[in-house]
């Protein structure tokens, strides 16, 4: 019974540890998959957020004429200016969430191949049509194809739903940038996204644009930008989770100590017999530590398997870096599973060291005497 309770206690600690690491990993994977490695994101120099950046139209034209920018079959540059702003939408349950509204052009679909339409159709440039990400369709019941959303002082009709491959774009609303800019009283884009040619083209583009004092721009790889946005929230999740795990692990180690102490007390006679047959103290120590390792292995497997069921759950939180809602899933990786498994063994062994040492130090006469009594 005591062993079963200890096994459950250790498994719960591993469950918490694995769940927290899966949560942070899911956030990082979601934002990492948002950007493309060969896309350059150009922002105003000094800004850290796309939403607070400003890139004027003449700057955007200069950027898209750079020789490092890839072109399509017609010879047109693969890039576009974009405008992002936060809007409020009502979620399931009645609460209000901040959603990223992205004004862009049809070129954005070519630049982000992970984005594909799943229902309806894409918006038509020059109209009041918008499309929503898959997570927006799940989290916001009022957002359905054929319905309208009040954005600014106009109603915008939803004409499609897109799937962005579990990336951050799934939590966005897209439409025509040229329609959104006057709606929010803006004349400049917030960023320019462009596909860069292979090889050293990105560094060449970055050095030229960032050293041009007339432009005052900074150039980042799109994937690096979104990786930076996940860093703060992922670090916070890990800190809170590891603090909880540390507290819970103390109780689990005490449980393991009690279990092994009970095992030693009930096997004093067996220990004495083994010592009389010639087994060394190190053999006794190894036997009890091996038992604790087996207990830890069982707890590790149980905890990791239970936590793996969380992969079917999607949560939505406010990303502190962008102040917008971001939906992501728990994601298990071999490294996380291995960490949970190893930590279970470490806890079990730590709790068993003292009882195992006490068992190894028992003398033959004392052990056999206790058995006789």
Q: Pairing mode, if any, of strands 154-163 and 129-133? A: parallel
In angstroms, the CA 239 to CA 233 distance is: 10
Work out the mean pLDDT of the chain and round it to a whole number.
86
Using a pLDDT cut of 90, give the percent of the chain over it.
36
Only one residue has tokens 């207990």, namely 295
Higher-confidence residue of 251 and 284: namely 284
pLDDT winner (highest mean) among 135-149, 188-202, 217-231: 188-202
In angstroms, the CA 263 to CA 271 distance is: 11
CA distances from 371 to 266, 280, 358 (A): 10, 19, 16
Q: Given this model, what pLDDT does residue 317 score?
A: 74
CB 16 within 8 Å of CB 340: no
Q: What number is the average pLDDT over the span 244-251?
A: 77
The pLDDT tens digits for 88-123 are: 888 777 777 889 999 999 999 999 998 999 999 999
Q: Given this model, what pLDDT does residue 82 score?
A: 95
The pLDDT tens digits for 141-162 are: 888 899 998 888 889 999 999 9
CA distances from 109 to 113, 186, 225, 319 (A): 6, 23, 19, 24
Q: What number is the average pLDDT over the span 228-233?
A: 75
The pLDDT tens digits for 50-66 are: 888 999 999 999 999 99
Left (φ > 0), alpha (ψ -120 to 50) or beta: where does 367 sit?
A: alpha
pLDDT band at 125 (very low <50, low <70, confident <90, very high): very high
pLDDT band at 1 (very low <50, low <70, confident <90, very high): low
* Global pTM value: 0.73
The pLDDT tens digits for 276-310 are: 888 888 888 888 888 888 888 998 999 999 999 99
């Amino acid at each position: 019974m005591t062993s079963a309770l200890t096994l459950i206690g250790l498994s719960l600690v591993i469950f918490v540890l694995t769940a927290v690491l899966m949560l942070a990993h899911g956030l990082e994977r979601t934002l990492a998959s948002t950007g493309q490695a060969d896309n350059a994101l150009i922002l105003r120099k000094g800004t850290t957020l796309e939403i607070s950046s400003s890139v004027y139209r003449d700057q955007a034209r200069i950027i898209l004429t750079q020789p490092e920018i890839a072109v399509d079959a017609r010879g047109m540059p693969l890039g576009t200016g974009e405008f992002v702003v936060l809007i409020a939408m009502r979620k399931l349950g009645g609460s209000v969430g901040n959603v990223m509204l992205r004004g862009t052009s049809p070129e954005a679909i070519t630049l982000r191949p992970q984005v594909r339409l799943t229902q309806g159709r894409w918006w038509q440039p020059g109209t009041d049509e918008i499309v929503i990400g898959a997570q927006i369709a799940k989290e916001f019941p009022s957002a359905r194809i054929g319905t309208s959303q009040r954005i600014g002082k106009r109603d915008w009709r939803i004409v499609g739903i897109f799937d962005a491959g579990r990336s951050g774009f799934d939590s966005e609303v897209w439409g025509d940038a040229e329609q959104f800019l006057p709606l929010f009283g803006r004349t400049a884009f917030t960023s320019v996204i462009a596909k860069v040619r292979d090889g050293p083209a990105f560094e060449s583009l970055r050095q030229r644009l960032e050293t041009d004092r007339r432009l005052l721009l900074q150039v980042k790889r799109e994937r690096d930008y979104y990786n930076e946005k996940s860093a703060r929230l992922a670090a916070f999740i890990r800190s809170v989770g590891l603090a909880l795990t540390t507290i819970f692990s103390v109780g689990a180690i005490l449980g393991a100590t009690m279990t092994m102490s009970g095992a030693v007390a009930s096997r004093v006679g067996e220990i004495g017999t083994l010592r009389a047959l010639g087994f060394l103290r190190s053999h006794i120590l190894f036997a009890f530590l091996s038992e604790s390792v087996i207990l830890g292995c069982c707890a590790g497997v149980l905890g990791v398997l239970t936590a793996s069921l969380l992969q079917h759950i999607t949560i939505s939180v406010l990303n502190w870096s962008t102040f917008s809602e971001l939906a992501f899933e728990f994601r298990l990786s071999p490294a996380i599973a291995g960490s949970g498994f190893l930590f279970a063994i470490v806890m079990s062994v730590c709790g068993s060291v003292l009882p195992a040492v006490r068992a190894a130090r028992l003398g033959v006469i004392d052990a056999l005497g206790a058995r006789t009594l």
